[in-house]
Structure 1
Amino acid sequence: MKLQKIYINGRFLTHPVTGVQRYAIEVLRSLDAMVGERDAAVAGCEFVVLAPKGDIRDIGLRHIPIKQSGRGAGHAWEQLSLPALCADGFLLSLCNTGPMTKRRQAVTMHDAAVYAAPDTYSFAFRAWYKVLQRVLGMNAKGVLTCSAFSRAQLTQHFGIAERKIKTIYHGREHILRIKADETVFERHGLARPYVLAVSSMSPNKNFASVAKAIELMGDVGFDIVIAGGSSKIFKPAGGRIGGEVKTLGYVTDEELRALYDRASCFVFPSFYEGFGFPALEAMSCGCPVVASDAASIPEVCRDAVLYCDPRDPADIAAKIRRIMEDDGLRTQLRERGLARAGNFSWDKCARETLDAVRPHLAAAAAAYVPERERGWSR
């Protein structure tokens, strides 16, 4: 039986790991495991990752080869070199972008943030992605996304027909595989109960409202722990609010896992999320969550978190205090969070991705005409 070639767009291996790259890495690792186990889900398929030349991230693949080839890097490599490299197969692009001229392709678009949260991006970035994703939405055989909310957003802003878009939820096992680095507690003097928040420079993450909520809480008997690099919106670190604001700066994945594990509450007040990894990670670690009632977050979290109005710092403060003062509520949210998080898995995500791609494979193979048959020369 002739194998169907599925190429993976590996440009993401040259990028720092954010939620988008995390998704691509975990889907690829799951596919790699299926190939190694000769799982029926990958029968008849041959996978190859295509990446630019140069330094790339090692994600520990054992059964799917990575081929570094072509000229250039970044968007130039993706638009000019990648189409020729994957000409004889189907392409799976997992990180919002892909070659616009490649029709035999499925592309994952995580959100429509360039329209819905424009302040997050530069003008040049917004302009390019508005063109790129609209063309990809028209030309690609299939579009994948991570929530029903994002599916509606892609239709609204990019004009992609809903019937063309498949919703596939992300997984959560990556956070559970990380070994917690508990030395973070001693290094930063974290001995008391604390509320955890993860800082971000992005206006969309709404961290300014967390800062205002902390100021409004007044005298409390717990600490506020801020992980991440952008704590300049706070008053000087260590300022008293009955507890302390402890700004940790950059933390490793291992330190973040430890912080999730021991936190009494995690605060996630984003205005816009295509999926919302941090809330799911916190729930997976048994941490009660105060989350925004906006965008995809209620779809992902359902009744497993305490919702707040992200535009009302007083409401955020009230919800934090409610969790911190109610042992029974914390226990209830911890149990609901663990149960809800159990519905998400990377293995399931990878299998549903293959299910979405398979109908296009035979058509892709039939449509391919080798260059020598077209009269082309190399």
Structure 2
Amino acid sequence: MKKKYIYINGRFMTQTITGVQRYAIEVIRSLDWLLSKGDINGKQYKFIILAPQNTKYNLNLNNISVQVVGRLNSHLWEQIELPFFSSNGLLVNLCNTAPMFSGYQILTIHDASVSANKNNYSFLFKFWYQFLYRILPFRTKKIVTDSNFSKDELIKYYPIKEEKIKTIYLGTEHLKPVKSNNEILQKFNLGNTTYILAVSNMNPNKNFSGIITALNYIKNQDLQVVIVGPKDNPIYSEVDLNSSLRINLVGYVSDEELSTLYKNAACFVYPSFYEGFGLPPLEAMVNGCPVIVSNKASLPEVLGDAAIYCDPYEPKDIAEKIEQVLNDENLRNELKIKGLERVNIYSWERCALEIFKVMMEVMDS
């Protein structure tokens, strides 16, 4: 039996880990585990990650090799060199982009926010991605996305036929085995502080400004907002967060530090206007943190009855839901229990296996 080569686009390995890179890492680790268990036949399928120079981290894989190829980087590497090095196999792209000149490939597009919320992005960023998403549907065999909401949005904005796109939910196991690191509580003076937690990048779509405005309606003047994530990103429009002693921007943190912040937060607040899936609320649930989220986009689909929902366009409603959770211990305990039950629906191993089935469907067609 002739071995089939499956190449994975490793450009994400040169980038800081946010949600998209986390997805790629966990899918690849789960594929590696499936190979170890024999659920994927390693004698029949050869997996290779192709990466540009200057990778930032080691995935510690047992069955999937990493090959650093080419001399270019970023989009030029992806568009010019990657198609050449992957020409004798199926190319798997997990992070929203793919080469336009490689027709034998699959692609994960996580959401359609670059068109649905285009004002939140720089001109060059949205121009490039909107251009790609009008070309790539014709240059890919299959497209994977994170939710039925995203599937409908991608079909709405781009020339994608419904039969070509498949919804595969993400997983949550990546934070389960992580030990806490309480040093971060002392580092940011949070040891005896009641705080609500927000986690994401500074995209205006995440609606951090809604949380800040909601503070004006909350009676507890000692309550702090801790925001985790990159403090600035050139692809996003400027976010106006008024300086305040009640706002604690901690920047990028380790998984251990993040787990600690989840476990010690009074609640996690995520009033996003637009989400393709919404991984941070599930990460909060893994750590037993009560969750308040927007009632928009994919969030009700993903979180079900395990969260409290707010209107992201009404800061007063956000404040009311925060006070509701803070003042009701029974509600907090109920949300913790429901959250821990909800996260069991989502599995990176199941996600990786479903993606592998898409690969086989393409290779066998």
Scaled by the length of structure 1, what TM-score is found? 0.89
> Judging changes above 3 Å, is the alpha-carbon distance between structure 1 residues 354 and 146 closer, same or farther for their aligned structure 2 residues?
same
Please tell me whether the aligned partners of residues 34 and 42 of structure 1 are also in contact (alpha carbons under 8 angstroms): no
Look up the equivalent residue of 1:322 and give its one-letter code.
Q
Alignment of 1:150-165 (within 5 A): 150-165=150-165
Deviation at 1:229, TM superposition (A): 5.3
In structure 2, runs of 5+ residues without a counterpart are 233-238
State whether residues 200 and 280 of structure 2, in contact with CA within 8 Å, keep that contact through their aligned partners in structure 1: no
* Structure 1 residue aligned with 2:183: 183
Aligned counterparts, 1:45-194, within 5 A: 45-187=45-187, 188-194=189-195
Question: Structure 2 CA distance, aligned partners of 1:88 and 1:223?
Answer: 54
Pair 351,218 (structure 1): closer, same or farther in 2 beyond 3 Å: same
Structure 1 residue 245 displacement after superposition: 4.6
State the distance in 1 between where 2:199 and 2:32 align. 31
2:235 is aligned to none
1:245-270 superposed Cα distances (whole Å, 9 cap, x missing partner): 54444433221110101222110011
The correspondence of residues 197-276 of structure 1 with structure 2, limited to 5 A, is 197-198=198-199, 200-219=201-220, 222-228=223-229, 230=231, 233=240, 236-238=243-245, 244-276=246-278
Q: Deviations over 1:10-45 (max 9, x none)?
A: 111111111001000110111112222332466621
Note the residue ranges of structure 1 that are not aligned, 5 or more in a row: 239-243, 364-378
Q: Looking at secondary structure, tell me which structure has more helix per residue.
A: 1
Aligned residue in 1 for 2:236:
none
Identify which range, 131-140 or 289-298, moves more after superposition: 131-140
Aligned residue type for 1:103: G
2 CA distance for matches of 1:70 and 1:326?
Answer: 57
Counterpart selection for 1:332 from 331, 334, 339:
334
> Aligned letter for 1:198?
V
One-letter amino acid matched to 1:190: G
Tell me if the contact between 1:32 and 1:62 (Cα under 8 Å) persists in the aligned partners.
Answer: yes
2:26–2:174 Cα contact (<8 Å) kept:
yes
Moved more, 162-171 or 184-193: 184-193
**1:349 alignment partner in structure 2:** 351
Q: TM-score, normalised by structure 2?
A: 0.93
Cα distance between partner residues in 2 of 1:70 and 1:249: 33
Distance 1:71 1:200, change over 3 A: closer
Match of 1:322 in 2: 324
Aligned length: 358
| Deviation at residue 296 of structure 1 after TM alignment | 0.8
Shift of 1:60: 1.2
Farther-moved stretch of structure 1 (285-294 vs 63-72): 63-72
Aligned-pair Cα RMSD in Å: 1.9
For 1:135 and 1:247, the matched residues in 2 are separated by 39
The DSSP-based 3-state class of the residue aligned with 1:100 is: coil
